[in-house]
Amino acid sequence: MLEIVDVVVSAATANDLTAIKHLLSDNDLPIAGVDDHWKTFLVARDGERIIGCGGAEAYSNAALIRSIAVSAEYRSRGVGRIIVRQLLDRLSSHGIREFYLLTTTAQEYFKRRGFKKCDRDEVHPQLLASREFQDACPKTAICMHLLMQR
């Protein structure tokens, strides 16, 4: 069994875009908006291979966490947890404390990461223009919110 120590999480580069999109498609997650926001993305690599990713649509006061995916054979080893943690830490180091996400499949997973279900009309107005809110995510997706303490 592969140990987590073999997996390295780091900032994505432009060369990673194709692999990120494949990973998202394989996991039925939207790729709309990735080209505009890839600079916020982190990737998890096992050697050369990208086996996990996560990103955000970040605005001045709030960010939409999106595109969290880990290849099936690497799951349940903490890779997703590390990607989410590092994303939140990086965004909060830029002064962002308010985080949202939309999910159809992973409400319980993000609840364990501190997110709470919220109504769409509670979402920070900066995020309502994002691709995920506009059209990429199904209207039935659950909205979740995390406010990081200062």
Ligand X SMILES: CC(C)(COP(=O)(O)OP(=O)(O)OC[C@H]1O[C@@H](n2cnc3c(N)ncnc32)[C@H](O)[C@@H]1OP(=O)(O)O)[C@@H](O)C(=O)NCCC(=O)NCCS
| Sites of contact with ligand X (CB under 6 A) | 27, 29, 68-70, 75-81, 101, 103, 105-106, 108-109
CB of 109 to ligand X, least distance (A): 4
CA distance 131 to 116: 22
Give the closest residue to 41 by CA, choosing from 62, 10, 15: 10
Q: For residues 66 and 96, which CB has a smaller minimum distance to ligand X in the complex?
A: 66
CA distance 134 to 150: 30
Q: For residues 62 and 101, which CB has a smaller minimum distance to ligand X in the complex?
A: 101
CB of 150 to ligand X, least distance (A): 26
Give the closest residue to 144 by CA, choosing from 104, 84, 93: 104
Sequence-distant (6+) residues with CB within 8 A of 11 are 41, 42, 43
CA distance 85 to 88: 5
Chain position whose Cβ is nearest to ligand X: 80
Q: For residues 26 and 36, which CB has a smaller minimum distance to ligand X in the complex?
A: 26
CB of 78 to ligand X, least distance (A): 4
CB of 145 to ligand X, least distance (A): 14
Q: For residues 92 and 107, which CB has a smaller minimum distance to ligand X in the complex?
A: 107
